[in-house]
Amino acid sequence: MRKQVPVEKGKSYEIEIRTLGTSGEGVGRYQDFTVFVPYALPGEKVLAVIDEVKKTYAKGHVKEILTKSADRVEPVCGIYDKCGGCQLQHLDYMAQLKAKRQQVIDAVTRIGKQPDLFVEPTIGAATPWNYRNKMQFPIGREKGKTIIGCFAQGSHEIIDTTDCHIQKEGNNDVVNAVREIVTKLNIPVYNEDKHTGVLRHVVGRVGKNGDIMVVIVTATKTMPREKEFVKMLRAKLPKVVSVHQNIQTYHNNVIMGRDTKLLWGRPTIQDGIGRLNFHISPRSFFQVNTAQAEVLYNKALEFANLTGQETVIDAYCGTGTITLFLAQKARSVIGIEIVKPAILDAQKNARDNNVRNAEFIVGDATQVMPRLYKQGVRADVVVVDPPRAGCTPTVLETFANMKPDRIVYVSCNPASLARDIALLDELGYKAEKVQPVDMFPCTSHVETVVLLGKNVTRSKSYVDLGLDVEDYYRIKDSEKNDR
């Protein structure tokens, strides 16, 4: 007999919030039944109205905060309660860092089955504001006006945005200029439901010295009043050096299509991490927080512990950012990436930075890694920075078959990271160090760098010591502070 659900849709209940969920929502329990409440914080008691009821959980919204957390702050953004771009502006920044560490702890403990694996405190950003060098906002119409902005959380309703506080100012300038120009030229805007119209998204990138790239994503192969658009954009934004049209004709949620046309200016813009410079094309992956990317890559380089004699494989290398960092200290590095334009950028980046010990291969790591292994290629160190879904078992097994001394795993998703380090543990590679890095302040996302080694001996777990996980980490933190 199934246990009766103790809450009803539309009714209000007092909920004590215990933790934050992976999307930044408050997680509490009512009569031992899980309730997710966005914008509620751990330690708070809230009166929540139930919006959705499932078999094992419910979702609600805050009607009233009965007991307020000391970590609650006033969001700086005027549309924060509507926009889905940020999830944690209402949480003090130091508390955000602690919450992100806890997210990693929960993942490696529960999903990764690594209860004795210590997670370092999250490395925070110098400032949590105006850090994003890339913006991609949908374009729509509302009451006859052109609107551009983030989607509301959990929907495709566009929230018109004029000043996004986590975007670099150049990207906010792009949004406001494009909105005005599209209105003046009366260019048709895409209707997602009907699959009609032209303009779907605007993508902005801010590079070195404030140079700007603008990419207009269209549902059609041609763009009406293209030359007038470019002329007006250049007049409004003197920092624009590159204007593209990307063509995305499919009726789906994929932002950018395969074909891109240069409308004016340079084919790429440049940005820099450390002493390295990178060419970035419209579809290339490049970390959106340049300052924190340097922190992340330096940590990956530290974990790789290179002496200049190693062969390194960098799977999912993108435009070669981590690859070129590693090449500074390695004998040779092989970068693998499925997106051909990114590899072309990586090759150009290597030439421009006078890096001669890096080779780049276009292809799916799932296929390329086994092929390299059959060809006799062996890596002393493997570095991997996969998409959110993580690595396939085939890739992980090939890593292990190559028998590298170390594996450095960079992840944007604690859940897939934890799953993969559990599998690597079975393959003989145990996680030694875990370092969260806050690449995305004011959001629920966290990057993590993990060092895995062969034949690592672990200390006793919290289970062996008769502790719960919170007490275990409290003791380990105290020990670290005493050193």
pLDDT at position 130: 97
Here the tokens at position 315 are 């799977």
Which one, of 273, 305, 268, lies nearest residue 288 by Cα? 273
Fold identical between 1-72 and 98-126+274-482?
no
Q: pLDDT tens string for the chain (483 positions)?
A: 456 899 999 999 999 999 999 999 999 999 999 999 999 999 999 999 999 999 999 999 999 999 999 999 999 999 999 998 999 999 999 999 999 999 999 999 999 999 989 999 999 999 999 999 999 999 999 999 999 999 998 889 999 999 999 999 999 999 999 999 999 999 999 999 999 999 999 999 999 999 999 999 999 999 999 999 999 999 999 999 999 999 999 999 999 999 999 999 999 999 999 999 988 889 887 889 999 999 999 999 999 999 999 999 999 998 899 999 999 999 999 999 998 888 998 999 999 999 999 999 999 998 998 899 999 999 999 999 999 999 999 999 999 999 999 999 999 999 999 999 999 999 999 999 999 999 999 999 999 999 999 965 544 544 444 545 455 556 656 666 665
pTM here? 0.89
Which one, of 364, 359, 365, lies nearest residue 320 by Cα? 359
pLDDT at position 206: 98
Q: Is 247 exposed, middle or buried (0-12, 13-18, 19+ CB in 10 A)?
A: buried
Q: Which residues are known to be catalytic? A: 412
Across the strands, what pairs with 72? Answer: 91
The residue extents of the domains of the chain are 1-72, 98-126+274-482, 134-271
> What single letter denotes the amino acid at residue 12?
S
Residue 315 DSSP SS3: strand
CATH superfamily of 1-72: Nucleic acid-binding proteins (2.40.50.140)
Here the tokens at position 159 are 């929230």
Cα dihedral angle (160, 162, 163, 164), rounded to 10 degrees?
Answer: 30
280 phi and psi, to 5 degrees? -125, 120
Residue 117 DSSP SS3: coil
Q: Is 414 exposed, middle or buried (0-12, 13-18, 19+ CB in 10 A)?
A: buried
pLDDT at position 279: 86
CATH numeric code, 134-271: 2.40.50.1070
| Third-level CATH fold of 98-126+274-482 | Rossmann fold (3.40.50)
- Report the distance separating Cα 323 and Cα 343, nearest Å: 11
